[in-house]
Amino acid sequence: MTADNLTLVRHPLVQHKLTILRNKETPTAQFRQVFREIAFVLGCEATRDLALGAVEIETPLERGSFPYLEGKKLCFVSILRAGNGFLDGLLDLVPSARVGHVGIERDEETLQPKLYYFKAPDHLSERQVILLDPMLATGGTAIEAAAALKKAGATRIKFLCLVAAPEGVAAFGEAHPDIPIIAAALDRRLNKVGYILPGLGDAGDRIYGTKG
Ligand code: URA
């Protein structure tokens, strides 16, 4: 299943690196390094339509007008904690980008996702915002994070993940039809406890080595 709101990045380097991330034998240090690399390539896709203006400069040979990014600096927003895995690679690509963080936890009573932390740069309404979470599973966390960004003024948002489940793509698309999703893969489905199959396991645990 593919959806209108989903772009799959089929670049061979992305697919190769994703296989390394999926492999349960990949050690933590390599996982982090490869995540950094895949983030860089996915970042190229996520930023492909940034607005370009022009600037007058002199090359060593002559003067001319050349393309130059215009507008406010773009903003990466990490959904804690696994979204942080994207930051090194994306900041390699766009070192001047601003960075925000969103923390979402499950409310013990309602079992619904609940915002517990939000910090984002000023002038969100004037920035391209790229929301980050490696796994789009049920979509609950990403939906809540995107809603918090909109509440804070963001109008141009993209959602970047590594692996998406059909259930998450559908739910996110219904809640935020204006937000494109960019992913390296659309996997089969969720299991009973909300993990993506075949997936890569718990992305936070794989990045930070907090299990095994
Ligand atoms: N979060 C993860 O880290 N992995 C999944 O498979 C689903 C949600």
Q: Which of 187, 195, 200 has most ligand 1 atoms within 8 Å of CB, for mutation?
A: 195
Residue 204 alpha carbon to ligand 1 centre in Å: 8
Residue 137 alpha carbon to ligand 1 centre in Å: 6
**What is residue 2's predicted lDDT score, i.e. its pLDDT?**
53
Q: Which of 167, 200, 210 has most ligand 1 atoms within 8 Å of CB, for mutation?
A: 200
**What is residue 9's predicted lDDT score, i.e. its pLDDT?**
98
For residue 199, give the CATH number of its domain.
3.40.50.2020
**What is residue 195's predicted lDDT score, i.e. its pLDDT?**
96
What's the whole-model pTM score?
0.96
CB 46 within 8 A of CB 130: yes
Task: Give catalytic residue positions.
Answer: 106, 110, 202, 205
Q: Report, in angstroms and rounded to the nearest whole number, the Rg of the chain calculated over CA atoms.
A: 18
CA 123-126-132 angle, to 5 degrees, is 85
**What is residue 208's predicted lDDT score, i.e. its pLDDT?**
97
Give how far Cα 50 sits from Cα of 68, 71, 202, Å: 10, 9, 32
**Domain interval for residue 107:** 3-208
CA atoms within 13 A on the CB side of 43: 23
Residue nearest to atom 2 of ligand 1 (CA): 202
- Which residues 6+ apart lie within 8 Å of 44 measured at CB? 93
**What is residue 111's predicted lDDT score, i.e. its pLDDT?**
78
Q: What is the number of domains present in the chain?
A: 1
Residues of the chain with pLDDT under 70: 1-3
**What is residue 110's predicted lDDT score, i.e. its pLDDT?**
86
